[in-house]
Amino acid sequence: MFGYVTLYRKGLADAEMDRYQAYYCGLCRTLGRRYGRTGQLALSYDMAFVAILLTALYDTPTAFSEGRCVPHPLKKRPRADNELLDYAADMTAALAYYNFLDDWQDDHRRASLTQAQKLEPSLPALRERWPRQLQTMAAQLDRLNTLESAGSHNLDALCNAFGALLGEVFACRDDIWAPALRGMGNGLGAFIYLMDAYDDLEKDSRRGQFNALRQLADELPPAAYEQRCHELLTQQMGRCAQQFEMLPILKDTPEGKLLYNTIYSGVWSKYALVRKHREAKRHD
């Protein structure tokens, strides 16, 4: 479900891309250090975004360096390291555990069960470090699974379940900024859930699997369906952006440029590709 919170690369200079790469590679390195190869398999743009957001908000001291790794042995890559990358790695591992379990339960993928079992020993420590986040994560995923298993097409309920989950991940501390961070996560989580359904509609139809947008697609002609999906996605990103603007993050800082680029342009990159591909198929 993750992977939609990306940059609009054409809108960034090389130095800004290097800064983003430092956080992305830093998160990968942190996942490897804390959770091994299984953790690194769960690396996502979305959680790199969380690390950048929290680092910018809390002005967290960050060590920047360069180094090589197994996937990139020839050229040194920039790396960032700070305590909020540790937090993002913890949240990534927890989400990955539940995602691997979900894949096993839905499709009986043996590989997914194996990966879940590798992460399972880390769960007690994660629950002890981050009780609020882990409790909400489990509760909202149960709620989401119940809704989907019942074939519910209540988009508000479905989006709110995943939004509430991501909202608690964003709110890493119980402080003055927690309400705005939680609101950001709610909006972005709902956007991710809808975007995943929009992206997977045809695949889910072929496999006979649940899709939150199936009823909408059946009830509306193609043009109206596309318009409605765009409206729903815009609404949720509007919620996210509104809360983001309440945070004291300067637009012209290195991290600020990455965050503004992602929220106002980057998240729409995959949507544009999916819609273009779908319209091209319809006119073939």
**Could you report the per-residue pLDDT of 174-208, keeping only the tens digit for each?**
999 999 999 999 999 999 999 999 999 999 999 88
Given this model, what pLDDT does residue 213 score?
A: 97
Model pTM score? 0.94
Tell me which fold the domain 9-283 belongs to: Farnesyl Diphosphate Synthase (1.10.600)
pLDDT at residue 284 in the model: 61
What are the boundaries of each domain within the chain?
9-283
Task: Kindly write down the DSSP assignment for every residue of the chain, as one continuous string.
Answer: --------GGGS-HHHHHHHHHHHHHHHHHHHHHHHHHHHHT--HHHHHHHHHHHHHHT---EEEEE--SSS-SS-EEEEE-HHHHHHHHHHHHHHHHHHHHHHHHH--HHHHHHHHHHGGGHHHHHHH-HHHHHHHHHHHHHHHHHHHTT---HHHHHHHHHHHHHHHH--SSSTTHHHHHHHHHHHHHHHHHHHHHHHHHHHHHHT---TTHHHHHHS-HHHHHHHHHHHHHHHHHHHHHHHTTS---TTSHHHHHHHHIIIIITHHHHHHHHHHHHHHHT-
User: 248 φ, ψ to 5°?
Assistant: -80, 65
* Residue 89 confidence (pLDDT): 98
* Sites in the chain below the pLDDT cut of 50: none
**pLDDT at position 1, please?**
62
pLDDT at 283: 66
